[in-house]
């Protein structure tokens, strides 16, 4: 072969390989995305806010796939037009008028035409606060059909709902932003972490929950915290538990350096003030506070190896302070839970956390005061801020954005 | 109780006692043998337990040594391993507990409690036990889900000496199961403060074992005892309590139990066999005793029957001579005796007849001699009177003939008495009132009792008020009672008191005739009713013989009680009806 031919062959091969690689990274339409999760949802009604953290996290994610809000917060937390294309206020700033996006169709095929393409909302709050509130999934646009079913405008519609067990979402072909890439999303709820891992290894699912802190996400969107559910423990004992915790060692050894130590519910990147909540260890003080305390029952996800190790370490730390925390199930005194940060807005996120804590919440105060109020009495002890993580098969792309997720070649 | 019954009872008691003694001895011997076997079994069990524990200890030491030499241990000692690396090493070595610690006992990695990294090891291991080459020992290991667990622990060090490794095997139901897999044997574990687990994970009643456990804990050495779990004896279990002790610390007490159900079942079986054998032996013994007794007592019974026959007057009674032994000799002697007695009786009857004839002859001679002598004198006087004058002869003749006639009359009277006695007729029974007969007799002899020529005899009648009507011959009774009254009168020539009493008792009537005369001797009393025997100078000896004859013919009996100087009392007992006589 002549030497002049070889460069051409090499160039052709390079171009072919590049073409193949480009084709692999280009979104593809079609396919069913199989998702397994540990959380369980009884319904997808935006009006019902679940108190279980896992359910809360799942519901927020699914609500955004099926229902849409007037506005959405961008990555920086600023409101962006969504179903509402613009908004304006009257002179007294008492009344706001939102302009509805045209040609938006509901899942039942009907055009979404609220009040001649405008929405009026009497509210004298600052517009920023109103927009952040409207961006919450709980304020999504929902049409309640006479038979009780809910109809939305999101990229997916609910094709099948098996309460607490499974759901099937199918692509909304008429979505105003264009249909999503995948044809459908098959969701299995309430799956044990062990079963999820097994199904993933056997190729029975595409997406599963992952143990905490196994990814290096830079932005934490979950808070690992202890929640005291029953009134059997006094504030002093709860404070003793908080002071007994050796978070530095837990982060270094058990979380392998992942996550951020904090005494705040919201991560530093979101609130900017989390460093103000002290979470340092004081075992001497903890022993003083815990004197004569009764044993507490303690629940944590024993299938998650990291959570189990953290739970056991917390028990050991508490034992050092003189507090017995025995593993239990059902109605326990203390739970170790991952609380999702559901919004880029501090107050909205804190509001959802208040629902988890079953604590009252007011939007009338600032985020710092609201968080201080939630942490009063140590009913919740924040430990670490961690990134939500999943296990995916290689063919899943653009997860967790359901509207843009697509399935590549197997 | 008959001789046969006594003999049978004696033989039965003897057999039963012997059988019971043998049965008891066998039972006791069996129990002692079982106890010896049980003791030996416990000793073997203890030895086996020690061997097993030593073997397990050596095994644990080897496992810990392998864990300490593993690559994972190197990484742990170097600080480059995961915090729960010890779990992998413990799983590889099949150890329930495995702690990698720094020389200051800070935990680097803990298998059973990974979360305790950074804390001090708190297994209660003494400083001298943190020696890399020491033997295994028992320790209490704190666990996450409870107070603590008992473990067989050994300590080793990593090859670079940077870390110590303490590993142990849990003393749990699985461990117990491996110890107590012999049939009928099981192992329990007592744990402080008061929990007992068995090889199946159950929790037996601690209260039943408390004493045994406390003894083993208190002394620190093995102790044995028996526990009865339920009311049935077969629920009993023999236990060996083995304290898991190390340096004075009791980590727990291992209880090795062997069921006594089989032993008790065997004992019961032996006992029942003994009981059945004893009952059978007793039954057979009683039957044999009955047969033997029958054989032995039959000649004796025949002898007794013969003796009774002889006693009842059957002098011809003889017994069969069955054997030639002592009983046979006795039967022969009996037969010889009866023959001799019969001969003697015949001779006595003959002699008595001769004596009676002699007595009769003497009495007749005596009775006849008295009238004959006056007759002889009178006749001689008549012969002499013929030589006298006519007138004198006439006078003598008249006087002599009168005398002759009187004496001939006496002779007739005497002969008549004898004739009457000989011709005593059988009684003519009719209803008779005995009290009336007595009163008639007393009226008959009233004049005689009040005879002025003699000393006065007073009478005292004490007759039954209700009347004593009996079936009897009234005339014969009158004569008999009259004879007794005459005898009493004759016995009191100086006067006295004649007492007559009557009464009714159990189908009989009784009549007592008493005097206050001189009384009779014992010999006189014995011969009083013999015919022709009399204590009177002029008596015929037939009066009381007639009385006895009458009483006997009426089916009654007569007796006399007397002592010399105190009078005599005759008692007649008659049946109300002759057919009711005994």
Across the interface, whether the CB atoms of B115 and A253 are under 8 A apart is answered: no
Which residues of chain B from 291 to 350 reach within 8 Å of chain A, CB to CB? none
User: Thinking of the domain A26-67+136-210+389-410, which architecture would CATH place it in?
Assistant: 3-Layer(aba) Sandwich (3.40)
Q: Collect all residues of chain B within an 8 Å Cβ-Cβ radius of residue A244.
A: none
DSSP state of A105: B
Show residues of chain A in contact with B84, CB under 8 Å: 309
Q: Chain A: which residues have CB within 8 Å of chain B?
A: 246, 249, 253-254, 309, 312-313, 315-316, 320, 326-327
Evaluate whether A95 touches A120 at the Cβ level (below 8 Å): yes
Mean pLDDT of A173-201: 94
The tally of CA atoms less than 13 A away on the side-chain side of residue B570 is: 26
Kindly state the tokens that stand for B35: 């106890």
Residues of B in contact with A253 (CB under 8 A): 83, 117-118
Q: Please, what sign has the CA dihedral across residues A236, A237, A239, A244?
A: positive
Residues B129 and B164: their CA atoms lie apart, in Å, by 11
Cβ–Cβ gap A309/B114 under 8 Å:
yes
Is the CB of A246 less than 8 angstroms away from the CB of B118? yes
Q: ∠B333-B335-B337 over CA atoms, to 5°?
A: 65
Flag whether residue B144 sits within 8 Å of chain A, measured between CB atoms: yes
| A342 pLDDT above the threshold of 60 | yes
Q: Does position A162 have pLDDT exceeding 90, yes or no?
A: yes
* B118 → chain A, closest CA residue: A249
Across the interface, whether the CB atoms of B115 and A326 are under 8 A apart is answered: no
In the three-class reduction of DSSP (H, G, I as helix; E, B as strand; rest coil), residue B487 is classed as helix
Pick the CATH number of A222-388 from 3.40.50.11900, 3.40.50.2000, 3.30.200.20, 3.10.105.10: 3.10.105.10
> To the nearest whole angstrom, how far is the Cα of B55 from the nearest Cα of chain A?
34
Determine which helix (DSSP H) or strand (DSSP E) holds B42, and give its type and residue range. Answer: helix B3-68
Token pair in block for residue B309: 């026959």
Identify the residue whose tokens are 């208040």: A354
Q: Using the structure block, give the residue that is written with the tokens 């909540």.
A: A277
pLDDT in tens, A13-43: 766 666 555 555 789 999 999 999 998 999 9
* Domain layout of chain A by residue ranges: 26-67+136-210+389-410, 70-130, 222-388
β-strand pairing of A260-261 with A380-386 = antiparallel
Cα–Cα distance measured from residue A273 to residue A382, given in angstroms and rounded to the nearest whole number: 14
* The pLDDT of residue B581: 44
Burial (CB < 10 A; 0-12, 13-18, 19+), residue A146, is exposed
By percentage, how much of chain A surpasses pLDDT 90?
Answer: 57
**Does residue A105 carry a pLDDT above 90?**
yes
Whether the CB of B117 is below 8 Å from some CB of chain A: the reply is yes
**Per-residue model confidence (pLDDT) at position B457:** 86
Question: Taking a C-beta distance cutoff of 8 angstroms, is the pair B306, B318 a contact?
Answer: yes
Is B145 within 8 Å of chain A by CB?
Answer: yes
**Nearest-neighbour CA in chain B from A328: distance (Å):** 10
Tokens of B120: 């001090």
pLDDT at res. A247: 93
Site of tokens 């003393």: B171
ipTM of the predicted structure?
Answer: 0.77
CB contact at 8 A, B159 and B88: no
- Residue in B closest to A311 by C-alpha: B115
Which has more pLDDT, A14 or A119?
A: A14
Element spanning A368, H or E: helix A367-375
Cα nearest neighbour of B115 on chain A? A313
* Residues of B with Cβ-Cβ distance to A249 under 8 angstroms: 118
> Do the Cβ atoms of A312 and B117 come within 8 Å?
no
Sign of CA dihedral A114, A118, A122, A127: positive
Q: Are B169 and B96 in contact (CB under 8 A)?
A: yes
Angstroms from B145 CA to nearest CA on chain A: 7
- Considering only CB atoms, A253 lies closest to which of B83, B113, B145, namely B83
Min Cα distance A222 → chain B (Å) is 23
Percent of chain A beyond pLDDT 70?
90
How large is the average pLDDT for residues A152-178?
Answer: 95
Structure tokens at B245: 């002790």
Please give the full DSSP string across B138-158, using - where no structure is assigned.
EEEEEETTEEEEEEEEEEEE-
pLDDT at A3 exceeding the cut of 70: no
Chain A residues in contact with B117 (beta carbon < 8 A): 253
- The larger pLDDT score, comparing residue B260 to residue A187, is at A187
At B284 the three-state DSSP class reads helix
Chain B residues closer than 8 Å to A326 by CB? 145
Tell me the C-alpha distance between B298 and B310, whole Å.
Answer: 18
Q: Cβ of B84 and A309 within 8 Å?
A: yes
The tally of CA atoms less than 13 A away on the side-chain side of residue A158 is 19
Residues B356 and A169: their CA atoms lie apart, in Å, by 156
Q: Do B119 and A320 touch (CB under 8 A)?
A: yes
Q: Which residues of B touch A313 (CB under 8 A)?
A: 115
Segment (H or E) for B407: helix B390-422
Distance (Å, whole) CA B105 – CA A312: 20
> Which DSSP category does A111 fall into?
B
Domains of chain B: 13-58+175-263 (3.30.450), 69-170 (3.30.450.20), 326-422 (1.10.287), 430-580 (3.30.565.10)
Mapped onto helix, strand or coil, the DSSP state of residue B228 is strand
pLDDT at A170: 96
- From the list A378, A38, A74, A31, the residue with the least C-alpha distance to A181 is A31
Alpha-carbon gap: A319 to the closest alpha carbon of chain B (Å): 10
d(CA B537, CA B372): 18
Mean pLDDT over residues A122-151, rounded?
Answer: 85
**pLDDT tens-digit readout, B192-201:** 777 787 777 7
- Best A245, A298, A305, A312 member to test B by mutation, with max B CBs in 10 Å, is A312
What would the pLDDT profile of A215-261 be if each residue is shown by its tens digit? Answer: 555 678 899 999 998 778 899 999 999 999 999 999 989 988 888 89
Hey, is the C-beta of B146 within 8 angstroms of any chain A C-beta?
A: no
Q: Which residue out of B115, B116, B117, B122 would a mutagenesis test of the A interface target, given it has the greatest number of A Cβ atoms within 10 Å? A: B115
Spacing of C-alpha B136 from chain mean position? 69
State residue A329's pLDDT score. Answer: 80
Contact A316 B119 (CB under 8 A): yes
Give me chain A's average pLDDT, please.
Answer: 88
Question: Left (φ > 0), alpha (ψ -120 to 50) or beta: where does B213 sit?
Answer: alpha
Q: Report the 10 Å Cβ neighbour count for B173.
A: 17
How many A/B residue pairs have CB atoms within 8 Å? Answer: 25
Contact B571, B505 (CB under 8 A): no
Helix B85-93 × helix B71-78 angle, to 10°: 150
Please judge whether B144 and A312 are an interchain contact, meaning their C-beta atoms are less than 8 angstroms apart.
yes
Check residues A46 and B198 and name the one with the higher pLDDT.
A46
A70-130 belongs to CATH 1.50.10.10: no
**B116 contacts on A by Cβ (under 8 Å):** 316
How would you list the strands of the sheet with A260-261, edge to edge? Answer: A260-261, A380-386, A222-228, A334-340, A296-299, A325-327
Min Cα–Cα distance to chain B from A369, Å: 35
Higher local confidence (pLDDT), A120 or B446:
B446
What number is the average pLDDT over the span A301-319? 91
Which residues of chain B, if any, have pLDDT below 50? 581-582
Chosen from A213, A253, A298 to mutate, greatest number of chain B CBs within 10 A: A253
The answer to whether B216 and B247 are in contact (CB under 8 A) is no
């Amino acid at each position: 072969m002549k030497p002049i031919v070889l460069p051409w062959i090499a160039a052709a091969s390079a171009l072919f390989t590049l073409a193949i690689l480009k084709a692999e990274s280009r979104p593809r339409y079609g396919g069913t995305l199989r998702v397994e999760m540990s959380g369980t949802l009884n319904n997808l009604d935006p009006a019902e806010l679940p108190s279980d953290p896992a359910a809360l996290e799942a519901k927020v994610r699914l609500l955004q796939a099926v229902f849409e809000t007037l506005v959405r917060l961008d990555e920086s937390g600023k409101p962006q037009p969504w179903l509402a294309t613009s908004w304006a206020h009257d002179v007294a700033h008492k009344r706001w008028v939102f302009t509805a996006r045209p040609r938006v169709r509901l899942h039942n095929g009907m055009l979404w035409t609220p009040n001649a393409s405008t929405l009026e909302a009497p509210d004298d709050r600052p517009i920023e606060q109103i927009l952040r509130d409207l961006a919450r999934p709980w304020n999504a646009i929902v049409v309640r059909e006479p038979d009780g079913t809910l109809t939305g405008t999101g990229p997916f519609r609910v094709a099948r709902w098996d309460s607490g067990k499974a759901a099937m979402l199918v692509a909304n072909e008429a979505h105003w932003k264009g249909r999503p890439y995948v044809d459908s999303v098959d969701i299995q709820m309430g799956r044990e972490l062990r079963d999820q891992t097994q199904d993933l290894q056997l190729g029975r699912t595409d997406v599963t929950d992952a143990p905490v802190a196994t990814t290096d996400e830079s932005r934490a969107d979950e808070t690992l915290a202890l929640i005291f559910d029953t009134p059997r423990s006094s504030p002093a004992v709860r404070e003793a538990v908080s002071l007994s915790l050796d978070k530095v060692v837990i982060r270094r050894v058990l979380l392998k350096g992942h996550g951020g130590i904090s005494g705040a519910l919201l991560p530093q990147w979101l609130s900017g003030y989390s460093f103000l909540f002290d979470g340092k260890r004081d075992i001497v003080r903890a022993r003083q506070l815990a004197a004569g305390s009764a044993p507490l029952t303690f629940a944590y996800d024993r299938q998650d190896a990291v959570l189990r190790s953290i739970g056991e370490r917390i028990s050991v730390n508490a034992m050092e302070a003189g507090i017995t925390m025995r593993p239990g199930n059902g109605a326990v005194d203390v739970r170790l839970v991952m609380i999702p940060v559901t919004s880029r807005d501090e107050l909205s996120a804190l509001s959802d956390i208040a629902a988890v804590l079953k604590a009252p919440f007011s939007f009338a105060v600032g985020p710092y005061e609201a968080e201080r109020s939630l942490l009063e009495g140590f009913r919740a002890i924040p430990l670490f801020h961690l990134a939500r993580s999943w296990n995916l098969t290689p063919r899943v792309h653009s997860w967790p954005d359901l509207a843009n997720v697509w399935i590549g070649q197997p | 109780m008959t001789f046969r019954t006594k003999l049978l009872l004696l033989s039965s008691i003897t057999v039963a006692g012997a059988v019971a003694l043998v049965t008891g001895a066998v039972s006791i011997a069996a129990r002692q043998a079982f106890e010896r076997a049980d003791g030996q079994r416990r000793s073997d069990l203890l030895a086996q337990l020690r061997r097993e524990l030593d073997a397990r200890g050596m095994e644990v030491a080897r496992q810990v040594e392998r864990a300490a030499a593993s690559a994972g241990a190197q990484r742990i000692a170097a600080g480059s391993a995961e915090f729960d690396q010890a779990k992998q090493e413990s799983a590889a070595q099949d150890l329930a507990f495995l702690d990698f610690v720094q020389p200051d006992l800070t935990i680097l990695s803990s298998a059973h409690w990974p979360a305790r990294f950074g804390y001090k090891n708190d297994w209660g291991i003494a400083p001298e036990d943190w020696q890399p080459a020491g033997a295994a020992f028992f320790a209490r290991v704190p666990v996450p889900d409870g107070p603590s667990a008992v473990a067989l622990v050994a300590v080793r060090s990593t090859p670079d000496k940077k870390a110590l490794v303490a590993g142990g095997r849990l003393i749990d139901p699985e461990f117990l199961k491996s110890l107590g897999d012999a049939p009928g044997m099981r192992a329990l574990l007592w744990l402080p403060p008061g929990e007992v687990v068995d090889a199946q994970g159950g929790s037996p009643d601690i209260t039943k074992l408390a004493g045994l456990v406390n003894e083993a804990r208190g002394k620190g050495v093995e102790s044995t005892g028996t526990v009865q779990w339920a009311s049935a004896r077969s629920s009993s279990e023999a236990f060996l309590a083995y304290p898991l002790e190390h340096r004075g610390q009791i980590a727990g007490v291992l209880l090795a139990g062997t069921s006594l159900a089989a032993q008790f079942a065997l004992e019961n079986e032996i006992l029942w066999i003994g009981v059945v054998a004893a009952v059978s032996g007793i039954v057979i013994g009683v039957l044999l005793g009955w047969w033997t007794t029958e054989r032995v007592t039959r000649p004796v019974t025949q002898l007794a029957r013969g003796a009774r026959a002889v006693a009842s007057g059957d002098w011809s009674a003889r017994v069969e001579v069955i054997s030639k032994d002592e009983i046979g000799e006795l039967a022969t002697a009996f037969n010889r005796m009866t023959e001799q007695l019969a001969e003697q009786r015949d001779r006595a009857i003959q002699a008595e007849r001769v004596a009676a004839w002699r007595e009769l002859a003497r009495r007749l001679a005596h009775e006849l001699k008295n009238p004959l002598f006056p007759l002889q004198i009178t006749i001689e006087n008549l012969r002499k009177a013929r030589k006298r004058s006519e007138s004198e002869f006439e006078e003598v003749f008249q006087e002599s003939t009168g005398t002759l006639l009187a004496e001939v009359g006496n002779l007739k009277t005497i002969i008549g008495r004898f004739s009457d006695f000989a011709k005593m007729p059988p009684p003519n029974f009719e209803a008779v009132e005995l009290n009336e007969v007595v009163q008639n007799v007393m009226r008959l002899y009233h004049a005689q009792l009040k005879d002025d020529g003699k000393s006065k005899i007073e009478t005292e009648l004490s007759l039954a008020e209700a009347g004593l009507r009996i079936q009897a011959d009234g005339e014969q009774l009158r004569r008999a009672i009259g004879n007794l009254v005459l005898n009493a009168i004759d016995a009191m020539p100086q006067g006295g008191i004649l007492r007559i009493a009557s009464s009714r008792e159990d189908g009989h009537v009784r009549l007592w005739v008493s005097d206050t005369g001189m009384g009779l001797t014992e010999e006189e009393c014995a011969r009083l009713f013999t015919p022709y025997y009399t204590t009177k100078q002029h008596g015929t000896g037939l009066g009381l013989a007639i009385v006895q004859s009458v009483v006997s013919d009426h089916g009654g009996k007569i007796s006399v009680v007397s002592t010399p100087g105190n009078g005599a009392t005759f008692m007649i007992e008659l049946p109300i009806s002759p057919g009711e006589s005994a």
